[in-house]
């Protein structure tokens, strides 16, 4: 459940290198945005402008791509990104109750982050482990056979790991 922490100035230097690899290739926009999402945790407005300027892509096009694909976010994600599957198998095996418990414990709804940016909550359609439903991930680390009563322990585990 490792949460990464890198200086923004280091990321900006890396961003310049990534963009340089794709400069003049407008079809590579999604690859660049994916790199930004993975490394910054979201796609900041100033970074969108840098990409627009360097790749010669209108800012409106970049915004359109970010808002079209659920993979991208305009808001910072929490240090611990929780993704809960609500695909058919997970849904019928209790995912709605698990989601409800996360909402209650964290005080947020899907696509939001806690005020301290410790947690963000997302709903996804399938994590590919239907036989182990309900399934969730924390920073891409899978948790299977989830039950609502496991939620407080998971939250405490993350908080304690941060001390």
Report d(CA 1, CA 135) in Å as an integer.
15
User: Does the bond joining 88 to the residue before it have cis omega, within 30 degrees of 0?
Assistant: no
User: Which pLDDT does position 2 carry in this prediction?
Assistant: 46
Residues of the chain with pLDDT under 50: 2-4
Sequence-ordered list of residues with C-beta below 8 angstroms from that of 30, at least 6 positions apart, any chain: 65, 69
Query: What pairs with residue 82 in β-bridges?
Result: 121, 138
User: Which pLDDT does position 77 carry in this prediction?
Assistant: 85
Report d(CA 161, CA 153) in Å as an integer.
12
User: Which pLDDT does position 7 carry in this prediction?
Assistant: 58
32-to-1, 35, 98, 147 alpha-carbon distances in Å: 25, 5, 34, 37
């Amino acid at each position: 459940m490792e949460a990464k922490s890198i200086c923004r100035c280091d990321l900006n230097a890396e961003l310049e290198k990534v963009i340089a690899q794709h400069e003049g290739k407008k079809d590579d926009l999604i690859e660049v945005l994916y790199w930004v999402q993975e490394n910054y945790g979201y796609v900041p407005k100033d970074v969108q402008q840098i990409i627009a300027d360097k790749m010669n892509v209108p800012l409106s096009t970049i915004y359109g791509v970010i808002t079209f694909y659920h993979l991208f976010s305009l808001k910072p994600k929490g240090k611990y990104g929780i993704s809960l599957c609500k695909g058919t198998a997970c849904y019928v095996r209790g995912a709605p109750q698990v989601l409800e418990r996360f909402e209650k414990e964290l005080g947020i709804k899907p696509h939001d982050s806690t005020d301290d940016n410790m947690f963000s909550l997302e709903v996804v359609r399938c994590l590919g482990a239907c036989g182990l439903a309900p399934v969730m991930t924390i920073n891409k680390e899978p948790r299977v056979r989830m039950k609502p009563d496991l939620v407080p322990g998971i939250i405490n585990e993350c908080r304690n790991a941060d001390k």
